[in-house]
Structure 1
Amino acid sequence: MKMVIAIIQDRDWVKLSKGLTEHGYGVTKLSSTGGFLRQGNTTIMIGVEDEKVEDVLQLIRDNCKKKEIPMTLYPPSITGLNMTSPPVNVTVGGATVFVMNIEQFHHVE
């Protein structure tokens, strides 16, 4: 058994959760915050049998694409001046995924 932990963009959560649910995967969602752009992230945990890991990874690949967004890197509140930097395109999205071995799994009711 494996535990798949993926950190994704909040905007990808609804689409990914629908895909996972349609394929019969249970998922636990945790809210988290990214460091660089301080944008909302979602961390998900999915327990799966070894032979299902690639299926889960493909669902993540299909639903969590990288994209470029225009962003002003130095808002006035940081510089203390009434100036902003010109917008630059920043790549966001995709997913950071960890796959770990699980020694035991128990569902307690």
Structure 2
Amino acid sequence: MDVVKVNLLMIIVNDEFQEEMLELLGENDYMATMVASTGEFLQYGNTTFILGVDDEETDKLVQLIDKKTSKNRNQYEDSIGVKDIHNRKNIATIFIMKSEQFIKT
């Protein structure tokens, strides 16, 4: 059995950006499970993407997400006139968990 180092990523995005995140993941050949969620964590309607990513690919994916969300954040903030860094809107929150085993049956 081959041992593959895989990270489990949970990417939580505001609902208004879920389609763009799904498109970004698909364009870059990442498959994810999408779960609608709400709660006190971000206090809005959210979508959580859960996916396994090779350890070597994790940084690449995080950079792709950062690039995409930075562009969206700047467009959004310009449209509502946000200039204060304390009022910035978070678009994505990413949890990266190291996996001891990855078994596909």
TM-score by length of 2: 0.70
Matched with 2:14 is: 9
Check 1:44–1:37 CA distance in 2 against 1; reply closer, same or farther (3 A cut): closer
Matched with 2:29 is: 24
The equivalent position to 1:94 in structure 2, one of 91, 94, 101, is 91
Aligned length: 89
1:41 aligns with 2:41: no
The equivalent position to 2:57 in structure 1, one of 36, 52, 60, is 52
Structure 1 consecutive aligned stretches of length 4 or more whose deviation exceeds 6 Å: none
Larger fraction in helix: 2
Check 1:2–1:92 CA distance in 2 against 1; reply closer, same or farther (3 A cut): same
What runs of 5+ residues in structure 2 fail to find an aligned partner? 1-5, 81-86
Please state whether the residue corresponding to 2:36 is helix, strand or coil. Answer: strand
Check 1:37–1:2 CA distance in 2 against 1; reply closer, same or farther (3 A cut): closer
Please state whether the residue corresponding to 2:102 is helix, strand or coil. Answer: coil
Please state whether the residue corresponding to 1:58 is helix, strand or coil. Answer: helix
Contact 1:12 1:63 (8 Å CA) reproduced: no
Larger fraction in strand: 1
Higher relative contact order (CA 8 A, sep 6+): 2
Contact 1:5 1:99 (8 Å CA) reproduced: yes
TM-score by length of 1: 0.67
Question: Highest Rg: 1 or 2?
Answer: 1
What runs of 5+ residues in structure 1 fail to find an aligned partner? 71-89
One-letter identity of the residue aligned with 2:93: T
Identity, % of aligned positions: 34
